[in-house]
Chain A
Amino acid sequence: MSRMIVADMTKCTNCRMCEMACSLATTGAFAPTRSRIRVHVFAEHFKHVPVTCFQCADAPCVKVCPAGALLQGEGLVRFVKEACIGCRMCMLACPFGVISFESEARVIAKCDTCSGDPECVRFCAYGALEFRESELAAAPKGRDFARRVAEAAKG
Chain B
Amino acid sequence: MDGYAGRLLRVDLSSGKTWVESLDEARARRYLGGRGLGARILMDEVPEGCDPLGPENRLVFAMGPLAGTFAPGSGRYTIVAKSPATGGFGEAYTGGFVAHELKYAGYDGIVVQGKAPEKVYLAVTNDRVEIRPASHLAGRGTLETEEKIKEEMGDLETRIVSVGLAGENAVRFACVMNDTDRAAGRTGMGAVMGAKNLKAIAIRGTGRVALADPKAFREHALADLAKIRKHPWLGDRPGSAGNLGTAGGVEDLSSLGILPTRNWETGAWEYADRISGTAMKNTILIGRRACQACPVGCTRVVRVADGPFGGVRPEYGGPEYETVAAFGSLCQNRNLQAIALLNQKCNVYGLDTISAGSAIAFAMECFEKGLLTEKEIGFRLDWGDPAAMLRLLDLIARREGIGDLLADGTGRAAAKIGRGASELAVEVKGLELGMHEARGKKGLALSYATAPRGADHMEGFHDPMIAAPNAWPEIGVVQAMDRFTLEGKPRVVRLAEDYTSFINSLPICSFMSLTVAGVRNTEELSGMLAAATGWRDITIEEEMAIGERAYNLARAFTVRESGGKADDRLPVKLSRSLRGGASKGQVITDADLQAALQEYYRVRGWSENGTPTEAKLRELGLEDVAQQLATKGGGR
Tell me if A78 is interfacial: C-beta within 8 Å of chain B.
no
Is B292's CB under 8 angstroms from A16's CB?
A: yes
Is B290's CB under 8 angstroms from A123's CB?
A: no
Tell me if B206 is interfacial: C-beta within 8 Å of chain A.
yes
Is A17's CB under 8 angstroms from B295's CB?
A: yes
Known: A24-B218, A29-B209, A31-B209. A15 touches B291 (CB 8 A): yes
Cβ contacts B214-237/A at 8 Å (1 or 0 each): 100010001001001100000010
Tell me if B297 is interfacial: C-beta within 8 Å of chain A.
yes
- Tally of chain A residues near chain B (CB < 8 A): 27
Is A13's CB under 8 angstroms from B289's CB?
A: yes
Of residues 290 through 321 on chain B, the ones whose CB sits less than 8 Å from some CB of chain A are 290-297, 299, 301, 313-315
Of residues 1 through 57 on chain A, the ones whose CB sits less than 8 Å from some CB of chain B are 10, 13-17, 20-21, 23-24, 27-34, 43-46, 48
Is A20's CB under 8 angstroms from B208's CB?
A: no
Cα A32 to Cα B207 in complex, Å, equals 8
B235 to chain A: closest residue by CB:
A125
Q: A10, A15, A21, A44: which has the most chain B beta carbons within 10 Å? A: A15
**What are the residues of chain A within 8 A of B581 when measuring CB–CB?**
none
Is B301's CB under 8 angstroms from A46's CB?
A: yes
Residue of B68, B286, B290 near A13 (CB, 8 A) is B290
Residue of B70, B75, B301, B315 near A24 (CB, 8 A) is B70
Is A15's CB under 8 angstroms from B294's CB?
A: yes
- Tally of chain B residues near chain A (CB < 8 A): 38
B349 to chain A, nearest CB (A): 19
Is B225's CB under 8 angstroms from A123's CB?
A: yes
Tell me if B371 is interfacial: C-beta within 8 Å of chain A.
no
Tell me if A126 is interfacial: C-beta within 8 Å of chain B.
yes
What's the dominant secondary structure at chain B's contact region?
Answer: loop
A31 to chain B: closest residue by CB:
B208
Is B211's CB under 8 angstroms from A29's CB?
A: yes
Of residues 175 through 224 on chain B, the ones whose CB sits less than 8 Å from some CB of chain A are 180, 206-211, 214, 218, 222
Cα A15 to Cα B288 in complex, Å, equals 11
Is A24's CB under 8 angstroms from B214's CB?
A: yes
**What are the residues of chain B within 8 A of A46 when measuring CB–CB?**
286-287, 301, 314
**What are the residues of chain A within 8 A of B69 when measuring CB–CB?**
20, 30
Is B68's CB under 8 angstroms from A30's CB?
A: yes
Cα A27 to Cα B390 in complex, Å, equals 50
Is B293's CB under 8 angstroms from A20's CB?
A: yes
A130 to chain B, nearest CB (A): 15
**What are the residues of chain B within 8 A of A21 when measuring CB–CB?**
70
Cα A12 to Cα B70 in complex, Å, equals 16
A75 to chain B, nearest CB (A): 26
Cα A34 to Cα B70 in complex, Å, equals 15
Cα A23 to Cα B68 in complex, Å, equals 12
Cα A24 to Cα B295 in complex, Å, equals 18
**What are the residues of chain A within 8 A of B291 when measuring CB–CB?**
15
**What are the residues of chain A within 8 A of B299 when measuring CB–CB?**
13
A17 to chain B, nearest CB (A): 6
**What are the residues of chain B within 8 A of A44 when measuring CB–CB?**
313-315
**What are the residues of chain A within 8 A of B222 when measuring CB–CB?**
122-123
A-B contact list, 28 entries, CB within 8 Å: A13-B288, A13-B290, A13-B297, A14-B289, A14-B290, A15-B75, A16-B100, A16-B292, A17-B70, A20-B69, A21-B70, A24-B214, A28-B210, A29-B210, A29-B214, A30-B69, A30-B70, A30-B210, A31-B104, A32-B100, A32-B104, A34-B208, A44-B313, A123-B222, A123-B225, A125-B225, A125-B228, A125-B229
Closest 3 CB pairs of A and B: A125-B295, A31-B208, A15-B290
